[in-house]
Structure 1
């Protein structure tokens, strides 16, 4: 499969993408070439370009009526839309990916994780928790279980339940993960928990660590938003100098990415 492993970063909640898994390339040369270009664009942080290329790959896979390739392209395209905060587009693509993977007999855990991320981002917390439980039933993979724990922790934060969020973080830390984007998601959850616990200085430090990891993973939108979170936490902690620095850098980065920094 050429699906991305995700890290539930995204905005002030949870979810981020890492790199695609390696696999035998598809037999169709056009699909293989387009998918490789899309992957390269994604890994360079050029998410909008990756969307254009994965859309072409999806169209080619549909023309071929190749269920695994339809699922792969739809999944990767959905992930790109999630990274840019385009949840409606992502939801439609995930439905298409789920249908294709069911047809091909693939494990649904990756798609379920993305569906849970979208539901959580949309405030559908019970639905998100139900999807997380389905992930845990479908997969024993460490990455899946790590991400499921992070998502549970993020939902607990949204419910103002720092004790449950801290327990979820402890559960996530039982799994050996080295990917920068996933580790960034972990640090951001830690920052949110520290805020709920009334410790903005520790929260700001965690957000700083997350921002560095997001930059390493080339997830620049998440990096900038997390820098803004760090600035807000430093403000709350009374550290004006660091607050101004993080807020300025976040605003500048978002503007350079063509986004409103407010």
Structure 2
């Protein structure tokens, strides 16, 4: 029985969006309980009920172990790890990746798994282990699945920009520029963000960088991909600052910070709040601290 990797959003200060792949083998007898667990988890992800999705993917994985089904184990493990990452639990995601690899190896599957490399790269980047993350992303970029390759290239580009590796950033920008035909909207957004980042480090047009970043943000807003949208706003803020438009830069950093915080990315929210400076406005929908003082007796 072949289940399907759902390739749900990976989240990060970088959120990775989904990758396609895997197919259902309809000619083989199936396990309806296992299929239902996977379907329930996918539905929960669609509703952003990630804690429910985590429980359902874990249940699917347990059922896959009972079935001794290598394909289903790999798919459930990948999906569980991506949900954990999107919940802001990168260490749990790494543990799931490691355990999934061990379970696959025990059953004779010792080859590379680009999907697991991809989520591992995302988790390592969230933990600040960029050198290891870059290595995992480079392995994933060698995949046959073009969706995995695209997201792996995005991670490579983000790490390169953060670390000042202009050569790698340029190569990733060239990869996106080489893509032809009608691209998925998510790919277009990734391409525009990388293009903006490359322009900003090579001394290119700040106006074009701003336009590219804002296009990426607009696409991601439409796709309900708010973590990535916030990151694109942060790039637009960099462009505004480099152009000398400090008030606009502060406002964009503030917007990125507020969006990231509501999307559950506290680390990025705190970073952008600092860059916004004193101009950041209060979130009108945040709960106020209404603690009451008690008198000492």
TM-score (norm 1): 0.78
Aligned 8 A contact 2:161 2:197 in 1: yes
Q: Secondary structure at the match of 1:110?
A: helix
User: What does the per-residue CA deviation read over 1:27-65, in whole Å, with 9 as the maximum and x for residues that have no partner?
Assistant: 222221121121123234444442232233223333444
Distance in 2 between residues matched to 1:63 and 1:257, nearest whole Å? 36
Task: Find the aligned partners of 2:261 and 2:5 in 1 and give their Cα distance.
Answer: 30
Conserved in 2, the CA contact under 8 Å of 1:8 and 1:151? no
**Aligned position for 2:282:** none
When the two structures are aligned, how many residues end up with a matched partner?
Answer: 260
**Paired residue for 1:88, among 61, 86, 91?**
91
- 1:118-144 CA distance string (max 9 Å, x none): 33443434433433443355x333333
Among 59, 63, 79, the alignment partner of 2:62 is 59
Distance change in 2, residues 1:252/1:51 (3 Å) = same
Alignment of 1:220-231 (within 5 A): 220-231=226-237
Shifted more, 56-65 versus 30-39: the winner is 56-65
Match in the other structure for 1:170: 174
Is 2:8–2:83's contact at 8 Å kept on the other side of the alignment? no
Instruction: Tell whether the 8 Å contact from 1:14 to 1:151 is kept in structure 2 after alignment.
Output: no
For residue 235 of structure 1, report the CA deviation from its aligned partner: 4.1
In structure 2, the partner of 1:110 is 115
Q: Aligned pair in 2 of structure 1 residues 168, 9: CA closer, same or farther (>3 Å)? A: farther
Give the Cα–Cα distance (whole angstroms) in 2 for the partners of residues 185 and 216 of structure 1: 14
Structure 2 contact 8–18 (Cα < 8 Å) conserved: yes
User: What is the CA-CA distance between 1:70 and the residue it aligns to?
Assistant: 2.1
SS in 1 for 2:18: strand
Shift of 1:238: 3.9
Alignment of 1:176-195 (within 5 A): 176=180, 178-195=183-200
Q: Structure 2: which 5+ runs fail to align?
A: 271-297
Q: Which has the higher strand share?
A: 1
Pick aligned residue for 1:210 from 207, 216, 227: 216
Equivalent residue, structure 1, for 2:12: 10
Equivalence for 2:278? none
Q: More relative contact order in 1 or in 2 (CA 8 Å, sep 6+)? A: 1
* Alignment CA distance shift 1:245-1:22 (3 Å): farther
Q: Tell me if the contact between 1:68 and 1:104 (Cα under 8 Å) persists in the aligned partners.
A: no
Q: Which residue of 2 aligns with 1:237?
A: 243
Q: Answer with 252-261 or 72-81: which moved more.
A: 252-261
CA contact (8 A) 1:8 1:14 kept: yes
Q: Cα 1:36–1:104, aligned 2, differ >3 Å: closer, same or farther?
A: farther
